């Protein structure tokens, strides 16, 4: 996809090649060759906004960061996707995230396009006042390009309810409008119940359907050992839902290291997960808890490690929930050797292409329950943006749904994501007898064809 006159964008190129290769390896282009042109069109953003963000730190010194919004595709609705505040943010990462978001949003069945944005600003180590001043400056420019019927950002890494609140306040002041322009808002002023939990809950709901299908309804999360990476919202709530469903959580991690259960018995408890959540609010590391009871006796802390490389022992389910490319090819082989049967990404593009190739080769060479079954983030972690879409609907109608109603809708959306990917794979990437269908192929094709058809109706390609 790289043009000679464009800079290298490795993350975006990886996301594009992952989609394109699954389309090429299916029968889609044989049955509908005109879709090749649609792939070319959908791979170029409709608009990219880049701007400077000038703000003042607590010492009165002027600081400068870069702000971005990639408005990738609006065929199905307003651009929808998070804002990421992290030093690693660049255009390649945001294009990869926005590209994935197009098809993830399509799989939810809601009327949302795809986009992504953020800044190379690092909230860690900043005071509340510094973060507020940055958010005000950031939104002063971004507000010219977004709106409830144009582009509705949400939070992502480094953007919590606090940052969303600061940005919403500035948008309201400048535009003189109270509207559902951001999701992830506070519960008392337009936010949806279940939104913080949605991505973590959603990935677990999705895997429930994987387990049920692969075992003909004979198994569930009960008794499963589940490895989880990360310790943010996604990992925390995935862990809590796994425990609620009878599984054992054997690992969590952060950028500095992994905290892993000793031995083959036991699990993180809800209280231990809540303790980790509390230090993460203060932007501290898991290592600060690792040496204290009960963590010091129950878990081992491995610095500069992820949970996947022969660390977690026997494992049934893996939920990478930290960041992109966190499962390598070697780690994919280690997961298979550890007996893992289900892997679903709570993070975006959590597995490298080498890891995906390992998972898919094992699936194709194995019969049913003997295989590892891989689910890509664009399907498995769609719960977060799904509830963001439900928040938009509540804001538009000026209503507030109950926890039970939002959770019920989330469960149905995740079930539909699974079934859509499954049936599409059976149609366009038909597996051999006794082999599980490719959820990565099915999800890619299902999301792509929905967007491509809408673009064709709009005259964006023909």
- Please give the annotated binding residues for NAD(+), written as ranges: 199, 233
CA atoms within 13 A on the CB side of 129: 5
* CA gap 215, 209 in Å, rounded: 10
C-alpha distances in angstroms, 424 versus 26, 112, 421, 427?
10, 21, 5, 5
Which residues does the annotation place in the binding site?
80, 101, 104, 155, 199, 233, 388
C-alpha distances in angstroms, 241 versus 220, 254, 270?
13, 20, 10
Task: Judge whether 165 and 186 are in contact, CB under 8 Å.
Answer: yes
Task: Judge whether 251 and 258 are in contact, CB under 8 Å.
Answer: yes
**Nearest 5 degrees, angle CA 38-CA 40-CA 44?**
110
Q: Which residue has the tokens 């590892």?
A: 372
* CA gap 70, 4 in Å, rounded: 21
β-partners of residue 265 are none
Closest CA to 204 of 348, 338, 443, 381: 381
Closest CA to 70 of 61, 60, 81: 81
Task: Judge whether 205 and 383 are in contact, CB under 8 Å.
Answer: yes
DSSP string spanning 371-439? S-EEE-HHHHTTHHHHHHHHHHHHHHHT----HHHHHHHHHHHHHHHHHHHHHHHHHHSPPPTTPPP-H
* CA gap 333, 246 in Å, rounded: 27
Task: Judge whether 18 and 353 are in contact, CB under 8 Å.
Answer: yes
Residues making up the chain, counted from first to last: 462
Residues classed as catalytic: 116
* CA gap 112, 92 in Å, rounded: 22
C-alpha distances in angstroms, 208 versus 86, 211, 349, 454?
32, 5, 20, 31
């Amino acid at each position: 996809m790289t043009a000679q006159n464009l800079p290298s964008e490795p993350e975006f190129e990886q996301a594009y090649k992952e989609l394109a290769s699954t389309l090429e390896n299916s029968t889609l282009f044989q049955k509908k060759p005109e879709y090749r042109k649609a792939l070319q069109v959908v791979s170029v953003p409709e608009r990219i906004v880049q701007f400077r963000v000038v703000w003042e730190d607590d010492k009165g010194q002027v600081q400068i960061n870069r702000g971005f919004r990639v408005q990738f595709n609006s065929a199905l609705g307003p651009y929808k996707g998070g804002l990421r505040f992290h030093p690693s943010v660049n255009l390649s990462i945001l294009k990869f995230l926005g590209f994935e978001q197009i098809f993830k949003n399509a799989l939810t069945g809601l009327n949302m396009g795809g986009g992504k944005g953020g800044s190379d600003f690092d909230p860690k180590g900043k005071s509340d006042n510094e973060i507020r001043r940055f958010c005000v400056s950031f939104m002063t420019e971004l507000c010219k390009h977004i709106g409830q019927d144009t582009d509705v950002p949400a939070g992502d890494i480094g953007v919590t309810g606090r940052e969303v609140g600061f940005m919403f306040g500035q948008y309201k002041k400048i535009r003189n409008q109270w509207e559902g322009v951001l999701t992830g808002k506070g519960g008392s002023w337009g936010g949806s119940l279940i939104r913080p939990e949605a991505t973590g809950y959603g990935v677990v709901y999705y895997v429930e359907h994987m387990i049920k299908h692969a075992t003909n309804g004979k198994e569930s999360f009960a008794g499963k050992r589940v490895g989880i990476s990360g310790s943010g919202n996604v990992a925390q709530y995935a862990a809590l839902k796994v425990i609620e469903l009878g599984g054992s959580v054997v690992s969590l991690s952060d950028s500095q290291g992994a905290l892993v259960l000793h031995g083959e018995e036991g699990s993180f408890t809800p209280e231990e997960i809540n303790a980790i959540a509390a230090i993460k609010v203060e932007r501290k590391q898991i290592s600060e808890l690792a040496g204290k009871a009960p963590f010091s006796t129950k878990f081992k802390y491995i610095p500069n490690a992820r949970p996947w490389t022969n660390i977690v022992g026997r494992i049934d389910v893996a939920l990478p929930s930290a960041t992109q490319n966190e499962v390598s090819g070697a780690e994919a082989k280690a997961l298979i050797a550890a007996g893992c049967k289900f892997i679903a990404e709570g993070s975006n593009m959590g597995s490298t292409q080498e890891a995906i190739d390992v998972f898919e080769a094992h699936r194709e060479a194995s019969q049913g329950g003997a295989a590892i079954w891989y689910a890509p983030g664009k399907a498995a972690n769609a719960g977060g943006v799904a509830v963001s879409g439900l928040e938009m609907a509540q804001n538009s109608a000026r209503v507030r749904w109950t926890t039970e109603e939002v959770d019920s809708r989330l469960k149905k959306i995740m079930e539909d994501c699974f079934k859509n990917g499954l049936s599409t794979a059976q149609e366009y990437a038909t597996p051999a007898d006794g082999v599980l269908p490719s959820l990565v192929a099915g999800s890619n094709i299902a999301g792509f064809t929905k967007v491509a058809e809408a673009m064709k109706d709009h005259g964006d390609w023909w």
